[in-house]
Chain A
Amino acid sequence: MHIHRLEKIWLLIGFSMLVIFLGVIGVGAFALGMQPPTGHHQAIDPDKVDETPPFDRPGLEKIGEKEYNAYMVAYAFGYKQDKLEVPVGSTIHFQVTSSDVVHGFQIPGTNVNLMVVPGEVNHLSYTFKEPGEYLVLCNEYCGAGHEYMATTIIVS
């Protein structure tokens, strides 16, 4: 099988760029800790979310200077707790689960974008460096009221 010289060059350039690109995102993910959101295998019964700690008391938990855990429950069609408030510069460690169907948890203008799957807990940390009223919205179709499913995080 003959491969044209120019095609070899073309493929070599393309493949080299691919290797560099995968290297960059790999280093970002595994060396610098910029991983996609993920969960420990923390199986949770979606029917018993309300009585399973820490989701029996959803909301903010202060764990340090400007550092919080946010235990969030997504349901059709809203989030518990509604309207969180933190001071500017706070880091929030989100832990999100669902008490019914699959939902999304997205904050436009940030890299916060999680799938909320019943039976699992998803994790992501984010530092809010700018003040503002951040919109949290569901970006996975969850039923007739999907477009109403949103809350806000007030950073002041």
Chain B
Amino acid sequence: MFLHITGNGEKTVNEAKTANGVANETGADRQRFAKEDSALVLAHLLFAFGALLLGGIAGVLQGLVRGGMITLPAEIGYYQLLTAHGVLMALVFTTFFIIGFLYSGVAKTLGGRLLPQARRLGWAGFVLMAAGTVLGTIFILLNEATVLYTFYAPLKASPYFYIALTLLVVGSWLSGFGMIYQYRRWRNSHRGKLSPLFAFMAVVTMALWLIATLGVAATVLLQFIPWSFGWTETIDVMVSRTLFWYFGHPLVYFWLLPAYICWYVVIPKIIGGKIFSDSLARLAFLLFLLFSVPVGFHHQLMEPGISPVWKYIQVILTFMVVVPSLMTAFSLFATFELTGRMKGAKGLFGWLKVLPWKDVRFFAPFMGMLLFIPAGAGGIVNASHQMNAAVHNTLWVTGHFHLTVATSVALTFFGIAYWLIPAVTNRVLTPALNRLGIIQTIIWVVGMLFMSGSMHTVGLLGSPRRTAYTTYQDHPDAVLWMPYHVAMAVGGTILFIGVVLLIFNVIAMLRAPKGVTEYPIAEAAESEAPAPRVFERWGVWIGLVVVLVLFAYTIPFMDMLNHSGPGSRPWVTW
């Protein structure tokens, strides 16, 4: 029985079969994933949730330490936990989930199954990424890599930690190549046809990732690995930081774009509507591709060695993402309103009432969208040139990315998991599991309001991020921060309950009753003209990215290279 509780009651098997999604073109059999494809997707998702559990344990312990509630046994360091939390959550959970999700959608929309070569690349990527994760985690546990997930030079981890990160990145490249291969093959056999929106967006996301990771690959391969092995004596710290942040900002868009895919392509189908505009959705993604790369200096606003003129130029480029963000907000709420009115909703806000609030596939991502409004506003504060001084490296920033990646992105990913895991395992989400999913979402939101809310507030008061329990010898300023740190610990504990419930739900989904679960892919509104051909001329867009990057970086980067001193020798200060 195909069961989904929606605002309008239950959907039946027949309704699902006759829905107009691309996936249903050739009938109900196409709802099912090929066994081999299911295995690949499921492996990524389960690995991601395993990392989430470990990262969550590290996270809740940190919160309790900083709140002054517990002290760690001597063998475990606070900063060791912090490194584990960052690596497992920000790098491992996100990357594995994203690749699993994108592979599923690429299989679904580009021919219904993966080509053997794409699948092989996906598995090769999975093996490399998993090996990198295990190796990296071992060196973190050995306390030989307590450098946090940003691994700023000249803190020196074991060379094997950098090699582990390299494996993670190279693995993700192979997966990216696999998706692009499938997309190219599809385009060759469907000449003149517009590619499916999901696949287009997946290609933009992986292209962004490939372009962004060149920076981190350059610093790790050319600087960190030779230096950590002792083959070179010193490292140029400003160059390594600049290469890192060339990668560090598009990294956050690599997390965000898959959530946007869900918001643009999946959510309209779940609420029974259509995509507001296929062309504008594509344009928004292309603008994100252009304006998320040449902007790394806004993470380095408080640093020496970069002229304020170039900082300001990159601040302007940073803010250009406001345009596609506003386009996205407009499209999503237009979809909600149009769908509501189609269902007969009356009044200015009547359409809100007919949204499927009791369907976790909608509710979790919707809460993510809602909290992205304050999250985005906070991001504008961070990137505002000199105004960054008020918040730089304070807990405000930690609060910011716990609202963006750990709420907007994470809740959307959870919402995806509640249908994707059943879809690839040929099971159904029971009403009881759906209810547990809603509860888990509420727990997450409440925990995050406590934690991120107090982080934002105490950050404005000056409390630094990434710092173990301290009152700075009872300095009056620092003593005042303590109640907020306690609230953070309370929020962190609530969130950990959310993680545990999520893991329970994932296991329960793997044991749920057999059946067919819909892979929700919405259609564009009929009236629309097809997207301009230039949107899929990748040479144009990649070329524009290159031009923007050269514009934003060439002069300041040459300046750095020309004024570099003797560099820094390695330090192990933990």
Q: Which A residues form the contact surface with B (CB < 8 A)?
A: 1-4, 6-7, 10-11, 14-15, 18, 21-22, 25-26, 28-30, 34-39, 41-47, 76-77, 100-102, 104, 106, 108-109, 111-115, 117-123, 133, 135, 137-148, 150, 152
B307 partner residues in chain A, CB cutoff 8 A: 38
Closest B residue to A3 by beta carbon equals: B280
In terms of DSSP, what is the predominant structure of the interface of chain B?
A: loop
The answer, among A10, A115, A123, A145, for a CB contact under 8 Å with B300, is: A115
Residues of A within 8 A of B529 (CB): 1-2
Contact among B334, B389, B475 for A37, CB-based, below 8 A: B389
B386 contacts which of A34, A108, A146 (Cβ < 8 Å)?
A34
The chain B residue with its CB closest to the CB of A150 is: B472
Residue in B308, B323, B565 whose Cβ sees the most chain A Cβ within 10 Å: B565
- Inside 8 A of B468's CB, which chain A residues have their CB? 146-147
B393 touches A104 (CB 8 A): yes
Listed residue (A141, A147, A152) with the most chain B CB atoms within 10 angstroms of its CB? A141
A139 near B394 (CB under 8 angstroms)? yes
Given A1-B279, A1-B531, A38-B306, A29-B385 contact (CB < 8 Å): yes
Listed by A's residue number, 5 A-B pairs whose Cβ atoms lie within 8 Å are A26-B312, A119-B567, A139-B392, A144-B77, A147-B470
Taking a contact as CB atoms under 8 Å apart, the answer to whether A141 and B148 are in contact is: yes
Contacts of B152 in A (CB 8 A): 101-102, 140-141
Complex contact A113–B305 (CB within 8 A): no
Q: Which 9 A-B pairs have the closest CB atoms?
A: A108-B462, A143-B573, A39-B304, A43-B565, A139-B464, A41-B563, A139-B393, A147-B470, A122-B304
* B315, CB-defined interface residue at 8 Å: yes
Task: Provide the B527-539 mask, 1 if CB < 8 A to any CB of A, else 0.
Answer: 0110110000000
Question: Which one of B79, B146, B388 lies within 8 Å of A36 (CB-CB)?
Answer: B388
User: Known pairs A15-B326, A139-B393. 13 more at Cβ < 8 A?
Assistant: A2-B279, A7-B327, A18-B322, A35-B386, A37-B303, A39-B305, A43-B564, A102-B155, A106-B392, A119-B567, A120-B304, A122-B304, A142-B573
The interface residues of chain A lying within 8 Å CB-to-CB of B280 are: 1, 3, 7
Find out whether the CB atom of A115 lies under 8 angstroms from the CB atom of B304.
Answer: yes
Q: How many A-B residue pairs have CB under 8 A?
A: 218
Among B77, B315, B385: residue with most chain A CB under 10 A: B385
Interface residues on B, range: 35 or more
Residues of B within 8 A of A111 (CB): 386, 389-390
Cα A137 to Cα B473 in complex, Å, equals 12
- Chain B contact residues, CB within 8 Å of chain A: 77, 79, 82, 146, 148, 152-155, 236-238, 241, 277, 279-280, 283, 300-308, 311-312, 315-316, 319, 322-323, 326-327, 330, 334, 380, 384-390, 392-394, 461-470, 472-473, 475, 477-478, 528-529, 531-532, 559, 563-569, 571, 573-574
The CA of A43 and the CA of B311, in the complex, are separated in Å by: 19
Q: Are A120 and B466 in contact (CB under 8 A)?
A: no
Interface centre among B283, B301, B461 (most CB of A within 10 A): B301
The chain A residue sitting closest to B83, CB to CB, is A141
Task: Take A14-B322, A44-B565 as given contacts and tell me if A115 and B303 are in contact as well, using a CB distance cutoff of 8 Å.
Answer: yes
Asked whether, in the complex, the Cβ of A143 is within 8 Å of the Cβ of B472, the reply is: no
- Docked-complex contact B154 and A100, CB < 8 angstroms: yes
User: What's the Cα separation between A45 and B322 when bound, in Å?
Assistant: 41
With A and B bound together, what is the CA distance between A122 and B304 in angstroms?
A: 5
Do A36 and B155 touch across chains, with their CB atoms under 8 A apart? no
Contact A1 B316 (CB under 8 A): no
Which listed residue (A106, A109, A147) contacts B469, Cβ 8 A? Answer: A147
Determine whether the beta carbon of B386 is less than 8 Å from that of A14: no
Contacting B330 at CB < 8 Å: which of A2, A10, A139?
Answer: A10
The answer to whether residues A36 and B311 also contact, given A2-B529, A44-B565 and a CB cut-off of 8 A, is: yes
Quick one: given A104-B464, A115-B300, are A43 and B385 in contact (CB under 8 Å)?
A: no
- Are A106 and B464 in touch, CB under 8 angstroms? yes
Determine if A140 and B237 form an interchain contact, defined as CB atoms under 8 angstroms apart. no
Residues of A within 8 A of B569 (CB): 47
A77–B283 alpha-carbon span in the complex (Å): 49
Cα of A112 to Cα of B79 in the assembled complex, Å: 25
CB closest residue in chain A, given B152: A102
**Are A2 and B155 within 8 A (Cβ)?**
no
Contact flag A4-B308 (CB < 8 Å), given A113-B393, A115-B302, A146-B79: no
Distance of A63 from chain B, by nearest CB (Å): 21
Answer whether A11 and B393 are a contact pair too, CB < 8 Å, given A4-B334, A109-B462, A109-B477: no
